[in-house]
Amino acid sequence: MTGITSPKGFLASGIRAGIKEKGLDLALISSPFLSHAAGVFTCNSIKAAPVVLSQTYLKDGYAQAIVINSGCANAATGKEGETYARRMCRKVAKELGISETDVLVASTGVIGERLSIEKVEKALPDLAMGLSPNGGKKASMAILTTDTRPKTAGVTIKIKGKKVTLGGMAKGSGMIAPRMATLLSFVTTDCNITSPLLKTALKEKTEDSFNQITIDGDMSTNDSLFIMANGRAQNPLISGKGKDYFLFAGALEELLTDLARQLVLDGEGATRLIEAQVINAGTLKEAREMSKGVTASNLIKAMVFGRDPNWGRILASIGMRGNINEKKVKIWIQGVNVFRSGKKVNFNPKFLSKKMGNKKVSFLIDLCKGKARAKAWGCDLTPEYVHINAHYRT
Amino acid sequence: MTGITSPKGFLASGIRAGIKEKGLDLALISSPFLSHAAGVFTCNSIKAAPVVLSQTYLKDGYAQAIVINSGCANAATGKEGETYARRMCRKVAKELGISETDVLVASTGVIGERLSIEKVEKALPDLAMGLSPNGGKKASMAILTTDTRPKTAGVTIKIKGKKVTLGGMAKGSGMIAPRMATLLSFVTTDCNITSPLLKTALKEKTEDSFNQITIDGDMSTNDSLFIMANGRAQNPLISGKGKDYFLFAGALEELLTDLARQLVLDGEGATRLIEAQVINAGTLKEAREMSKGVTASNLIKAMVFGRDPNWGRILASIGMRGNINEKKVKIWIQGVNVFRSGKKVNFNPKFLSKKMGNKKVSFLIDLCKGKARAKAWGCDLTPEYVHINAHYRT
């Protein structure tokens, strides 16, 4: 399995602390080497205590460990919540013999509930003892909430003859409409790259991956994406935007897109992945917003669940997000042209409905306006989504 | 029953033309008197043929009849669709012996399908013959699609000793997130008021009623709200923003809010009405966006269906729409304070869950920031919504 321990010099572990009703719920990632680090976080003005603390600790561009709990978001928990987030970092630092400010923290679960800090502190020594190069799987399981399966990914490239590896894991499932940030996601790499460039690459590549997915249009208070680079690949330090940087950034995009697609496919109650591509848009912003709007529409998500090629909903969705010329727009569903020259194309609805039974349903929208393009990903809307979210806590 | 024929001098009728699979599908409203008229329409850049035509015909501020079909949106239907919309107006004009440009037209149903103009033209003579002061009920039924019941309303006021009546009908159900416009909605009044003031009142009062409701976040290509005022109440002509204008505008707001609430309560698959009020916001825009955001959130809609007082979702929803101070915000669900001073208030979740079983679920959010306030309305998200929209056409 590829994942966060695939790059050289990264260890991980996962354990049950007893925060969730059952299953693993506490994870740790660490490197024996102080790493360059960066993060992107939720834009929600309500930020969870661990988000605020990690942002502070990341200011120097370094980190050596990340501790994560599931089962409790530690958000909207007042002063107490802030203290608990700090106590998690302090305890990890003590166990690993590193500086408290080099430990990052992330939490996910119900908003507004008190974190059982006693259970967390009690479990942390065993969690630290369990760190191993094979611990990636357990860690990827310990960060899940309503997810049905772990999401991990890995990419390997060569930079100046050196093998450079990137590994990642993520959790998602609900409250997913990130802006400039994402869910909980962790990337490790042995690449030798400066902190500022690491941050630049992370921000740029988040735009076209995590920021182009939606599950339900709500933005979490806990969204965090972390990256640590420990330099163990021993490639010459990447300190400028040259060929090596673009190689690395390309690999990062591949990794993030892989995780993003896994996230939507495991969206709450989802049975199918929706991929919407808008081409020949006036601006990149327009292409991004329209492709994302299509994948976020309840009506379109429901019609994908029902395998109904009701393309009028796609036209209405793009029309409400920009100025488009109805007579020029062309729309394809699963490769079949359904709309052009301002009206319906004669297609076989039964044949197309059958094609929409695939695990992946693609929409292609040509605006015939400019040269910009973007892709977005979402999932279908199912009765199961409603059931999950009607009784998430009870 | 109060409705569009409640004001003096308005007739209506409804008939089956055979556009829908079953039930009434063609409606007509008319007055023997040429009326002052105004409309607000969808902001979607994709506009249905009847929307574009009615906008043109309304430019002179007069109208005498409105013809409406359900079962087909006549949107994204090319040149042919434009011709058909014009043919509907022409035929009505001929039957009633009035000018073609004084007939307005509206359509609702599936986007992109060809309108059976032959069936419409064949049914129009009987429809015109059927016009009567008792025809409001049939008309209100003929404009429905997935709605489960007609929506009608009436308000009566006195202006300078004269009884002035307003009547209305609407259809909604899905693809409902109006902006500067709304679904299909028709208001009649015998008030004596100029066209420009009629338009001003309509625009202003739409903002706080129809534009504050959502069912699923999608904006239709056909949203239209028409008003006709035939002056039969014989009040002195309202031609300035004096006391009489404000009396009239207040009554109009009452009528539109009544219809808007009926619309969300009959939203596709809905079992409960959600009312969110934001008070002490920084600006009116903020209050409107946040209250509307809360009622539009899938997560919040699903928790209302499940009667789960998961207030963290409300906090996350307002936090993603503006800059708020977590320590100052207060939240009430069904009158019970659940959040203040940055953390949860101890409340009895079982008791509150029971209270959420009411037909109407209220959220009150105090931002403690400024003086602006707004209300918004939505409905819960249910498995039934998904079923309806998974197979709308098939």
A394 or A341: which leads in pLDDT: A341
Indicate whether B393 pLDDT > 70. no
Residue A320 has pLDDT above 70, yes or no: yes
Q: pLDDT value at position A148? A: 83
Domains and CATH numbers, chain A: 11-265 (3.60.70.12), 273-390 (3.10.20.340)
State the burial class of residue A240 (Cβ atoms within 10 Å of its Cβ: 0-12, 13-18, 19+): exposed
**Are the Cβ atoms of B382 and A385 closer than 8 angstroms?**
no
Average pLDDT over residues A107-126: 93
> Contact at 8 Å (CB) between A41 and A51?
yes
The pLDDT of residue A261 is above 50: yes
pLDDT digits (tens, 9 = 90+) for A71-81: 999 988 889 99
Torsional sign, CA B350, B354, B356, B357? positive
Residues whose CB is less than 8 angstroms from the CB of residue A380 and which lie 6 or more positions away in sequence, other chains included: A270, A271, A272, A274, A301, A302, A304, A305, A361
With cut-offs at 50, 70 and 90, classify the pLDDT of residue A322: confident
Compute the distance between CA of residue B37 and CA of residue B90 in angstroms, rounded to an integer.
19
Per the listing, tokens 């709605």 go with B147
Q: What is the DSSP string of A350-385?
A: HHHHHHTTSSEEEEEEE--SSSEEEEEEEE---HHH
pLDDT of B363 reads: 97
pLDDT score at A176: 56
The length of chain B, given as a count of residues? 394
Beta bridge partners of A226: A39, A186
Is the pLDDT reported for residue B178 higher than 80? no
Which B-chain residues 191-250 have CB contacts (< 8 A) with chain A?
216-221
Q: What is the pLDDT of residues B245-283, one digit of tens each?
A: 999 999 999 998 888 888 888 878 889 999 999 999 999
pLDDT at A385 over 90: no
Q: Contact at 8 Å (CB) between B297 and B316?
A: no
Which residue in chain A has the smallest CA separation from B321? A44
B264-274 pLDDT, tens digit per residue, is: 888 788 899 99
Residue A323 has pLDDT above 80, yes or no: yes
CA triplet A386, B287, B202: central angle to 5 degrees? 95
How many CB atoms sit inside 10 A of residue B337's CB? 14
Alpha carbon of B322 to those of A224, B282, B291: distances in Å? 19, 10, 12
* A208 or A311, greater pLDDT: A311
ipTM confidence score: 0.76
Chain B contact for A305 (CB, 8 A cutoff): yes
d(CA B29, CA A127): 73
What percentage of chain A carries pLDDT values higher than 70?
95
- What is the per-residue pLDDT for B269? 83
Answer for the pair B204, B297: CB distance below 8 angstroms, yes or no: no
Q: Which residues of A are catalytic?
A: 182
Do residues B279 and B367 make contact, with C-beta atoms less than 8 angstroms apart? yes
State the pLDDT confidence band at A266, using cuts at 50, 70 and 90.
confident
What pLDDT shows up at residue A175? 61
Q: What does the mean pLDDT of chain A come to? A: 90
pLDDT at B175: 61
How far does Cα A184 stand from its chain's mean position?
6
Res. A321: pLDDT tops 90 = no
Q: What is the mean pLDDT of residues B304-324?
A: 90
Cα separations in angstroms, A20 against A42, A145, B283:
23, 9, 40
CA geometry: angle B274, A173, A303, nearest 5 deg: 65
Please give the average per-residue pLDDT across B200-220, as a whole number.
Answer: 79
Inform me whether the pLDDT recorded for B64 exceeds 80: yes
Ranges A335-339, B220-224, B329-333: which has the least confidence = B220-224
Alpha-carbon distance A184 to A210, whole Å? Answer: 11
User: How many inter-chain contacts (A to B, CB under 8 Å) are there?
Assistant: 222
CB A112 within 8 A of CB B312: yes
Q: Which of residues 314-373 of B touch A (CB under 8 A)?
A: 315-320, 322-324, 326-327, 339, 341-344, 349, 353
Residue B204's pLDDT is what?
Answer: 87
- Which among B5, B182, B221, B382 is annotated as catalytic? B182
pLDDT of amino acid B261: 85
Which of these ranges, A7-16, A91-100, B75-84, has the smallest mean pLDDT? B75-84
- Please say if the pLDDT value at position A177 is more than 60: no
Could you give the 3-state DSSP secondary structure of residue A284? Answer: helix
Distance CA B173, CA B168 (A): 17
Catalytic site includes residue B182: yes
| Residues ≥6 apart with Cβ < 8 Å to A290 | A278, A281, A317, A318, A321, A322, A365, A367, A374
Indicate if the pLDDT at residue B165 is higher than 50: yes
Model pLDDT, residue A179: 45
d(CA A31, CA A229): 9
pTM for the structure as a whole: 0.80
Indicate whether A116 pLDDT > 70.
yes
pLDDT digits (tens, 9 = 90+) for A119-144: 999 999 999 999 999 999 999 999 99
Q: How confident is the model at residue A206 (pLDDT cuts 50, 70, 90)?
A: confident
How does residue A392 score in pLDDT terms, banded at 50, 70 and 90? low
The answer to whether the CB of B376 falls within 8 A of the CB of B279 is: no
Q: Which pLDDT does position B215 carry in this prediction?
A: 67
Which residue matches tokens 């505008």? Answer: B249
Q: Pick B320's closest partner by Cβ from A44, A80, A313.
A: A44
State residue B388's pLDDT score.
81
Mean pLDDT (chain B, rounded)? 90
Give the three-class secondary structure for B324.
coil
Mean pLDDT of B132-156: 92
Name the minimum distance, in Å, from the CA of A385 to any CA of chain B: 8
Residues β-bridged to residue A130: none
Q: Is the pLDDT of residue A181 over 60?
A: no
Q: Coil, helix or strand for B299?
A: helix
